Amino acid sequence: MRIHAKINHALRQIKQILKFSVFCAPSKGTAETEATETPSDEIFLSPVKIDGKYGYIDKNGKMAIKPQFEGAGDFKEGLARIRLDNKWGYIINKNGEIVINPQFDDAWDFHEGLARIELDGKYGYIDKNGKIAIKPQFEEAEWFYGGLARIKLDGKYGYIDKSGNIAIKPQFEEASWYFEEGLARIKLDGKYGYIDKSGNIVIKPQFEEASWYFEEGLARIKLGDKYGYIDKNGKIAIKPQFEEAEWFYGGLARIKLGNKWGYIDKSGKVVIKPQFDYARVFQEGLAMIELGGKYGFIDKSGNIVINPQFEYAWSFQEGLARIELGDKYGYIDKNGEIAIEPQFYEAEDFQEGLARVRLGNGEWGYIDKNGNIAIEPQFEEAGDFQEGLAVISLDGKWGFIDKNGKVVIEPQFDGAGFFQEGLARIRLGDKWGYIGKNGEIVISPQFDNAWWFHEGLAWIKLGSKWGYIDKNGKIAINPQFEVADDFQEGLARIKLGGKYGYIDKNGEIVINPQFDGAGFFHEGLARIKLGDKYGYIDKNGNIAIKPQFDYARVFQEGLAVISLDGKYGYIDKSGKVVINPQFEEARQFN
């Protein structure tokens, strides 16, 4: 039963990832980490094979593109790869029109506006017009992420930029597909280490195993047969001692000792004794754990607060957690009481008081927190509610409903995201624009990528650079940045030349790019990073609190949580320690 539940859970996760990639914007990130491929770019057609030929059907099973191809892939960034006469090309839209003639020995999906192709045993890249953007010359090549792609030449791995220039010389036995927190794992002489985006070795190859990427400033490594953690200087932060170890989240990491799972803090101290068959990260103060093939919950003291009894369980959201009993899905409260009887074929978390559910007819609807059907299941796909509206799909087009289930914006778009500050991004063809809550197009589709509005501006992409528009669609700040982010307290973090700084709403650089890391402004200060230490700057860019902390959070009600030597305390806005670092964990005052 446990294996069955885990398999079902994994399959559901995969399905949800695929579905969410259609209409929901991903979690907020920087432009550097978001691909040109945006979630709503997907076209709901599936390749099928009939009498030895591939075509495409829609979700009703209707043949949308007649079988005619020797091979076919999914739609990505508005295009799908197809094969004719043993050569690969691309089709666009639901009519199956060939826009890039079959000519390649092999071809892959588009990512960040380019697609990897193969000609005569070598790999290169094309743009969406089918033009060779980077000449086929590599033994291996991966997709672009954050402007770089891993390639292989003469048996060694390196990286290129979108112009095809060698950004990091091929020299490694292995290399990460992309950079995270500014570093990528590499392998030299059988050992693992890390490089930065300039290709400099910042952590000497010395480990038998190492995490692909850093999380919360630490990376898991293996020395001998034990796991531990290093910081970004390569220093052993937590001695290798664990049979297994996972990434840090919210200051805690799951570890395994004696075949049981528990939790450690960033000092390496065991804060919850290893005792569980399995364990997940904490959310809303509780973490799902497994004992004897059943799932329950613990608090941060390690106390079992909901006895293991479910075939599977998910994290808490808006006070309720999804659970599985007898292949049906329902919800429990934080006392472990059944709040909504397991009855659904699929179910999602609550958002704005409603949760998406699917009944046996395969269509999506919504329930309230009492388990009552609030909106009858009727949609092919459906998103969470935001600002009172939810994006839905009918007959392959996207529109919006209100909380009564009334269609307030007719399904008509090729892609759509949620509403924020009264506007939602939509896609017509391969361009993005915005609509208001009456469904009227207020900013015509014209951008290669576009995100939600915040403080009256939205970051958009034209070509390879990011800039900002206002709610009239006027370019407020010319696209010029490698990274762009939301405005907070009148300033936005940007990246130029590999360093972070800040601009105002006129696009003026008010704090020169100089920091290795930077956060948003809150209560007049922003957290910054120089080297491996955290401090704070004011809105003039002056160092208000000298970088000296191992970790630091935003100010809330005049105080900020900081970490020194593995313990958490609080500072005030003068940088004075007002509560000595003494705690294994600490939260903001609110």
DSSP 205-217: EEESEE-SS-BTT
Task: Indicate the CATH number for domain 516-590.
Answer: 2.40.10.480
Q: Report the C-alpha gap between 391 and 414 in whole angstroms.
A: 12
Reading the block at residue 128, the tokens are 């969406």
336-354 pLDDT, tens digit per residue, is 999 999 999 999 999 999 9
Q: What average pLDDT score do residues 434-441 get?
A: 95
Long-range Cβ contact pairs of 244-250 (< 8 A, separation 24 or more): 245/220, 246/220, 247/211, 247/215, 247/216, 247/218, 247/220, 248/215, 248/216, 248/217, 248/218, 249/215, 249/216, 249/281, 249/282, 250/281, 250/282
**pLDDT beyond 60 at 39:** no
pLDDT of residue 10 exceeding 50, the answer is no
pLDDT of residue 494: 93
The structure tokens listed for 368 are: 């309230």
Which one-letter DSSP state was computed for residue 140? E
Tens digit of each residue's pLDDT (9 = 90 or more) over 483-510: 899 888 889 999 988 899 999 999 999 9
Average pLDDT over all residues of the chain = 88
Tens digits of residue pLDDT in 20-38 = 333 333 333 333 333 333 3
Kindly report, residue by residue over 451-488, the tens digit of the pLDDT: 999 888 999 999 889 999 999 999 999 999 988 998 88
**pLDDT for position 588:** 66
| Tokens representing residue 581 in the block | 């670092």
pLDDT average, residue stretch 305-318: 95
What pLDDT, in 10s, does the model give residues 251-308? 899 999 999 999 999 999 999 999 999 999 898 999 999 999 999 999 999 999 999 9
**Per-residue model confidence (pLDDT) at position 587:** 65
pTM score, whole prediction? 0.52
| pLDDT of amino acid 60 | 57
So what's the pLDDT on residue 58? Answer: 73
The whole-number pLDDT of residue 558 equals 86
Same fold, 34-179 and 516-590: no
The mean pLDDT value for 35-48 works out to: 50
pLDDT of 17 over the 80 cut: no
Cβ contacts of 294-298, under 8 Å, gap ≥ 24: 294/2, 295/5, 295/323, 296/336, 297/321, 297/336, 298/272
Percentage, residues of the chain above pLDDT 90: 70
pLDDT in tens, 120-134: 999 999 999 999 999
Q: Which residue has the tokens 């754990």?
A: 289
Token reading at 129: 């017009």
- In tens, the pLDDT along 181-226 reads 889 999 999 999 999 999 999 999 999 999 988 888 899 999 999 9
Per-residue confidence (pLDDT) for residue 8, from 0 to 100: 42
Q: What is the pLDDT of residue 578?
A: 85
- Long-range CB contacts (< 8 A, 24+ apart) of 480-486? 481/31, 482/31, 482/32, 482/147, 483/30, 483/31, 483/32, 484/30, 484/31, 484/459, 485/30, 485/31, 485/459, 485/520, 486/28, 486/454, 486/455, 486/459, 486/520
Average pLDDT on 36-55 reads: 62
For residue 165, pLDDT over 70 is answered with yes
Q: Is the pLDDT of residue 147 over 80?
A: yes
Q: Could you tell me which CATH number the domain at 34-179 has?
A: 2.40.128
pLDDT band at 180 (very low <50, low <70, confident <90, very high): confident
Q: 249, 216 in Cβ contact below 8 A?
A: yes
Rounded average pLDDT over 528-539: 94
Q: How confident is the model at residue 247 (pLDDT cuts 50, 70, 90)?
A: confident
Model confidence at 569, in pLDDT bands (50, 70, 90)? confident
Domain assignments of the chain as residue spans, ordered by start: 34-179, 449-500, 516-590
What are 49's two structure tokens?
A: 């094979």
- Look at residue 584 in the predicted model and tell me its pLDDT: 75
Euclidean distance between the first and the last CA atom of the chain, given in angstroms as a whole number: 43
Between 416 and 251, residue with greater pLDDT: 416
pLDDT band of residue 49 (cuts 50, 70, 90) is: confident
CB–CB of 432/426 below 8 Å? yes
Pair 391, 416: CB distance under 8 Å: yes
pLDDT > 50? residue 429: yes
